[in-house]
Each structure stands twice: as structure tokens, then as C-alpha cells.
């Protein structure tokens, strides 16, 4: 009898440990500012994001006169083709390098594609982020924008202002509380100002204070799987 009780106790403890480890895995941060130096937590299509994120103030490096005003070291600059002093240097890139066309010529707006984030829940009153690049709105023929998507519907969208310099923009998302959403960065233009710039996205509470992303993802952990097991393996 004692052996049977011991077995049940061991099974119970192992189950608790598994549950705790899963919750811990989901209560992680989100690559909201690309400071991983790669596209962790995001899935790309096309070729526009093949050299993203970019490192440093590349517009200033080529004397553009429009500083990127990015946060940290890394950001999405879809006209850029410089991946930093380590990876970029190994690939023969240098600060200020721009995207190329199929023939290898400088063509900052040539590549096209999309970048979609993992799912997360809206728990804040607002979302804020840095946005720049072209003013090509969603719903036009060649959009370059960032969309917030819920159940395959675009519920918010934003563009740049035809300027490489990113500025802080904000969405009111109070009516979306509890919804599961994704961010989609869209570059579907090869024409002038056919690229978006994007960085440093947050949810904020009613006081305007940014909510830590591990807290946002912990909401998902209490209800359902916030990410797939395949995504989880990247961390554990």
C-alpha cells in the first residue's frame, strides 16, 4: 500500500512540475523590438525581410538627413541591407547599404513580403510603436503598413509619413480587450517610398504605462497555448 501511495505521489509531483514548466515557458517575453538581432517570434513571406532586422542608424550612415530614431540597436528598416558589425561584416555589408534588385543594383523599395507575429491577447488600453517609411495605406494597390489582425480581419492599420525617421504612434485598442491578435508588417510595393520602418511595440495601461510582454503572454498561458510547441522549442 505504501508503495502505491508513493507512486501516486511521484506522479502528482511530476504533473505539477510539468504544468509549472509550461506556464513558465509561456510567461516569456516577446521580440517586440527585434533586439534578438533576428526574427524570433515572427514569420516572414517573400524576400523583403531577408536582411532584417537592420542594425544602427543606416539612413544617417549614408547622409540621408532623416535619422531612423530607432530604439536599441535593431529595427525593421525595409530599405536597409546592413545586419550589424558581426553578421553584416561577414556578409560584406557596410553601414548605409540598401536593398537590391534581382540584378544586384541598389533598389531600396524592390523586395516585397510580409512579417507576422505570434498571437497575443489584448489586455491594455492602447498600443504604441515606432513607425516610419512610406505612406501607402492598407486597402490601396501597393500597401506598405503595419496591421493588427484579429480572426483574419484587419482591425487597425498604420503607415509611415514618407520619411525614414520613425515617430511614436498609438492605437486605441480598448474595445479589443480579450481578443487574440497578431501584428503583420506589410511591404507590397516596389515603387517610391515602397517600404515601412517599424520598431518597439508595446501595450499600455490606462495610465499610459507600458505593460511587460511577459505579463501579456502569461494571460494566454492561463487559458490556452499562446504559441505552438514548435515555437516553444526555440526557447527550451
CA–CA gap between residue 131 and residue 138 (Å, rounded)? 15
Identify whether residues 110 and 42 lie together within a single domain.
yes
pTM score > 0.75 for this model?
yes
pLDDT of residue 28: 72
DSSP strand pairing (163-172 vs 120-121)? unpaired
Same domain for 141 and 92, yes or no, is yes
Q: Per-residue pLDDT for 45 more than 50?
A: yes
For the ranges 135-139, 205-209, 232-236, the lowest mean pLDDT is seen at 232-236
Q: Which domain holds residue 152?
A: 30-211
Across the range 99-124, mean pLDDT stands at 95
CATH of residue 190 = 2.60.120
Q: State mean pLDDT over 217-230.
A: 52
Looking at the structure, do residues 217 and 201 belong to the same domain, yes or no?
A: no
Tell me: do 194 and 216 sit in the same domain: no
Instruction: Say whether both 171 and 184 belong to one domain.
Output: yes
Strand partners, 41: none
- Mean pLDDT within 88-108: 93
Same domain as 204, residue 93: yes
Asked if residue 236 has pLDDT above 90, the reply is no
Query: Is residue 102 predicted with pLDDT exceeding 50?
Result: yes
Average pLDDT, the chain: 87
Examine the domain organization and report whether 20 and 99 are in the same domain: no
Q: pLDDT digits over 165-198, tens only?
A: 999 999 999 999 999 999 999 999 999 999 999 9
138 and 109 belong to one structural domain = yes
How far, rounded to the nearest angstrom, does the alpha carbon of residue 203 sit from its chain's CA centroid? Answer: 13
| Residue 118 shares a structural domain with residue 150 | yes
Predicted pLDDT of residue 16: 42
Residues, the chain, total? 236
Torsion of CA 22, 28, 32, 38, to 10 degrees: -80
Domain total in the chain: 2
Same domain? 84 vs 171:
yes
When pLDDT is cut at 50, 70 and 90, the band that residue 219 belongs to is: confident
Asked if residue 177 and residue 116 are part of one domain, the reply reads: yes
Same domain, 70 and 184: yes
Cα–Cα distance for residue pair 10/164, rounded to 1 Å: 59
Amino acid at each position: 500500500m505504501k508503495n502505491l501511495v508513493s507512486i501516486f505521489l511521484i506522479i502528482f509531483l511530476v504533473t505539477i512540475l510539468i504544468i509549472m514548466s509550461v506556464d513558465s515557458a509561456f510567461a516569456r517575453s516577446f521580440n517586440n523590438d527585434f533586439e534578438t538581432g533576428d526574427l524570433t517570434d515572427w514569420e516572414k513571406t517573400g524576400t523583403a525581410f531577408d536582411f532584417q532586422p537592420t542594425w544602427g542608424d543606416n539612413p544617417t550612415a549614408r547622409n540621408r538627413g532623416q535619422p531612423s530614431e530607432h530604439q536599441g540597436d535593431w529595427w525593421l528598416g525595409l530599405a536597409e541591407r546592413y545586419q550589424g558589425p558581426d553578421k553584416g561584416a561577414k556578409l560584406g555589408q557596410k553601414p548605409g547599404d540598401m536593398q537590391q534588385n534581382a540584378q544586384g543594383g541598389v533598389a531600396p523599395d524592390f523586395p516585397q513580403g510580409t512579417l507576422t507575429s505570434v498571437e497575443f491577447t489584448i489586455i491594455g488600453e492602447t498600443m504604441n510603436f515606432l513607425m516610419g517609411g512610406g505612406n501607402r495605406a492598407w486597402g490601396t494597390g501597393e500597401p506598405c503598413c503595419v496591421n493588427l489582425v484579429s480572426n483574419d480581419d484587419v482591425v487597425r492599420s498604420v503607415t509611415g509619413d514618407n520619411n525614414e525617421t520613425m515617430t511614436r504612434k498609438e492605437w486605441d485598442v480598448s474595445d479589443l480587450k480579450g481578443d487574440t491578435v497578431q501584428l503583420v508588417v506589410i511591404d507590397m510595393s516596389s515603387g517610391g517610398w515602397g517600404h515601412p520602418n517599424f520598431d518597439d511595440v508595446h501595450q499600455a495601461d490606462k495610465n499610459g504605462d507600458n505593460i511587460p510582454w511577459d505579463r501579456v503572454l502569461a494571460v494566454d498561458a492561463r487559458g490556452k497555448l499562446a504559441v505552438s510547441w514548435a515555437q516553444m522549442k526555440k526557447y527550451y
